[in-house]
Structure 1
Amino acid sequence: MHNNLSVLFPSIQLLSERPVESSEKVYVFHNNYTGNWMKIDQTEVSEREYALLSSLFSEIKPNPSANHSVSEKWFKFLFENGSAPFEEETEIRVIQLHFKMDHGKNSDLEEAVKAFFDDSIQLVFISAQNAILIEQRSSYIQTPEDFYSFINTLESDFYIKLKLYIGKFHLTDRHFPIHFSTEKEWFLKGISRNRAIRIYTMENTFPFSLVDQMSDEMKHIIRKEILNPIQYDQELLQTMQLLFENGFNATVTAKKLHVHRNTLQYRLTKFQDITGISVRNFDGALVAYCASLIAIEG
């Protein structure tokens, strides 16, 4: 792979250890599979090539935080089999952040985290578009509502658009990095499959993994019995998906679809008339929801 990349990026340097010094004019990527580090001159990387490199490798950049050494420990613990910054009996969870902003706004994100969470949460930058919040279990646990408020504050005060994944609490033992890696995969899958929401969890990303593991035969049945009869009607599929994701609440679903409740009821009846499946009960709604996820695959 290095030979292929060197054709595109003549300045590339392959290193066995993480670079001690870095420059704003150089991209640094970590290959999680080989454990190697790569340095590439930024002038050789187009925007499209940067997006591809970022999706394949973990970008490493200088952490401007005063708690740089603490962030380094967390990075090594999660990605490089380093020792845990906390004692093993400590329970923590990782809240993953995905955003689009320039390097200059990293300080804004730090300021917002500090103002919103005080010292109860540690911010660690992972790449140009990703960071994590480390939350230790305590007498008060941040709620989804707290994180929605945090997102709204970032958007209104700092003009930073953000999506996040709320992880589960686990002990900081040697198994935690594996647990975090799984949550990282679920977050990426959620962003690619359901871009309409801003907060992801195991609960709302699990169905995507479930559908991915379905056999081709099962997917063929769903296409034959549901998707083909409704001719992949995106309006109906979106309705089925939102109805399930909003706990069968017709009022909330209609509001998110920007339609009248009567229009929603018409679509549910139309879906049942064509497929013979009623989404007014859980079994039918589950099958319809899976069909909507399979339709996203194409």
Structure 2
Amino acid sequence: MLTSLLIKYPNATLQNHYPTQLAFEKIWFTNLNQDEFIGIDESDISQDEVELLKCLFTELDIKHNHLNDSLHAKEWFNYLYKKGPVPPHGEKEYRIIHFILNGRSDIQLMREAFLNLLPHHATLVLLDEQKGLIIEERNNFILDEEQLESISHVIETDFYMSMAIFIGQFQRINKDFIRSFQYECEMFYYAESSYSSPYIQSVATVLPSLLLKYLPGEWKEQVFGTISQIFEEDTELIHTVKAFLENQSNISQTAKKLFMHRNSVQYRIDKFIEKTSIDIKSFQGALLAYLALLAFESDNLHKK
């Protein structure tokens, strides 16, 4: 049916994929199946005709393409969100780093700041004035957590806004790429709603607490009940055990992190093992204690 519009608008652009370059001077419409797209020059159509076509077809929102001025960024946005064609990629692997800012700023200044901070192999895709993606191509100099923290610090210093970051996994662009991206979006939004302070998270850090969210309450009570009761009775033990697990079960590193004497840390760890009969120095014991800790923190988050 869109083809018939060419009779009325002979200068229009008709294609069967989501437009990769949306010009400001064109108004785009698509059909119900989104398998045909037509772009009509603003100079060729009246406002009444636009309103009529909006009743018959879906007008495309080009806001995001205004936010992204590079062709590569538009291609990635259209691929991830609009069922557009796959961006040129060769056989390389890519990962997607999600971020969200806790405020709004001048979008042009924000874009320039990011482009100056990001390496050449990374593509910035803005979703709105607060959210965006960093598409990173795998090479020998990928962004590590320390570099992302540095970027976050610069943004916070220059724009007075904190930044939450979620690091996706590297993978080849294939039929499963979009689905994996959608799962990572869900994990990011879960982390965003679960952590009150700025953070850098990843699949590895978010997945355990996300799995616990869907664990039945009676299972939590049965498996973690004893440990939760011990944490209730001794709140200092929570911080020690958490720091111990996050520092690869290393007593010296834990003591340095907590500004405690090594013997004091050792005493508390031994105390926890004695009370729970869980050897958190072993991998299996550490995993169980870590899940119990996450469950306890989640259940008591509203009390803080």
1:203 maps to 204
Amino acid in the other structure paired with 2:79:
F
2:69 is aligned to 66
Q: Secondary structure at the match of 2:83?
A: coil
Question: Post-superposition shift, 1:93?
Answer: 1.1
Give the match for residue 186 of structure 2: 185
Please report how far the alpha carbon of residue 118 of structure 1 lies from its aligned counterpart in structure 2 after TM superposition. Answer: 4.6
Q: Amino acid of the residue matched to residue 69 of structure 2? A: A
* AA of the residue aligned to 1:241: K
Structure 1: how far apart are the matches of 2:233 and 2:132? 37
Return the alpha-carbon distance in structure 2 between the equivalents of residues 148 and 269 of structure 1: 34
Q: Which amino acid aligns with 1:140?
A: F
Q: How does 1:69-80 map to 2 (within 5 A)?
A: 69-80=71-82
Match of 2:227?
226
Q: Distance in 1 between matches of 2:206 and 2:214?
A: 13
SS in structure 2 of the partner of residue 164 of structure 1: strand
Relative distance call for 1:162 and 1:293 in structure 2 (3 A) is same
TM-score calculated relative to the size of structure 2 = 0.67
- Structure 1 residue 178: Cα displacement: 1.0
1:109 to 2:116 alignment? no
The aligned residue for residue 239 of structure 1 is: 240
SS at match of 1:102: coil
C-alpha distance in structure 1 between counterparts of 2:152 and 2:67, whole Å? 21
What is the match of residue 274 of structure 1?
275
Per-residue deviation, 1:75: 2.0
Distance 2:23 2:88 in 1: 27
Aligned residue-pair number: 242
Asked if structure 1 preserves the Cα contact closer than 8 Å seen for 2:163 and 2:198, the reply is: no
Larger Rg: 2
Task: State whether residues 108 and 158 of structure 1, in contact with CA within 8 Å, keep that contact through their aligned partners in structure 2.
Answer: no
Q: What letter corresponds to residue 79 of structure 1 in structure 2?
A: Y
State the SS of the aligned residue for 1:237: helix
Q: What's the Cα RMSD here? A: 3.1
The aligned counterpart of 1:38 is none
Per the TM alignment, residue 251 of structure 1 is displaced from its structure 2 partner at its CA by: 3.5
Is the Cα–Cα contact under 8 Å of residues 73 and 125 in structure 2 kept in the other structure? yes
**Pair 1:212 & 2:217 matched:** no
Whether the 8 Å CA contact 1:91–1:171 is kept in 2: the answer is yes
Q: What is the CA–CA distance in structure 2 between the aligned matches of 1:195 and 1:246, rounded to whole Å?
A: 22
Using a 3 Å threshold, how does the CA distance of structure 1 residues 85 and 194 change in structure 2: closer, same or farther?
same
Q: Give the C-alpha shift of residue 179 in structure 1.
A: 0.8
Q: Is the 8 A contact 2:68 2:74 kept in 1?
A: no
Q: Which amino acid aligns with 1:108?
A: L
- Name stretches of at least 5 consecutive residues in structure 1 with no aligned partner: 1-16, 23-59
| 2:168–2:202 contact (8 Å) kept in structure 1 | yes
Point out where structure 2 has 5 or more consecutive residues left out of the alignment. 1-17, 25-62, 300-304
Give the aligned partner of residue 174 of structure 2. Answer: 173
The one-letter code of the counterpart of 1:211 is L
Distance 1:224 1:94 in 2: 38
Which of 64, 84, 87 is matched with 1:85 structurally? Answer: 87
8 Å contact 1:73–1:82 — kept in the other structure? yes
* Equivalent position amino acid for 2:236 in 1: E
| Aligned residue identity for 1:154 | I
Q: Which moved more, 1:260-269 or 1:133-142?
A: 260-269
User: What amino acid is the match of 2:232?
Assistant: Q
SS of residue paired to 1:103: coil
Q: Give the fraction of aligned pairs with identical amino acids, expressed as a percent.
A: 29
TM-score under structure 1 length normalisation:
0.68
Name the amino acid aligned to 2:227.
I
Equivalent-residue separation in structure 1 for 2:245 and 2:167 (angstroms)? 21
In the alignment, which residue of structure 1 is the partner of 2:141? Answer: 140
Q: Summarize the Cα distance change of 1:232–1:292 in structure 2 as closer, same or farther, 3 Å threshold.
A: farther
* CA displacement, residues 54-87 of structure 1 (integer Å, 9 cap, x when unaligned): xxxxxx65744432x5433322211222212224
User: Residue 177 of structure 1: CA displacement?
Assistant: 1.4
Do the aligned partners of 1:88 and 1:171 also contact (CA within 8 Å) in 2? no
Conservation of the 8 A alpha-carbon contact between 1:167 and 1:202: yes
- CA deviation string 1:178-197 (max 9, x = no partner): 11111122223334445567
Q: 1:164 and 1:61 mapped to 2: Cα distance?
A: 20
When residues 235 and 83 of structure 1 are mapped into structure 2, their CA distance, relative to the original with a 3 A threshold, is: farther
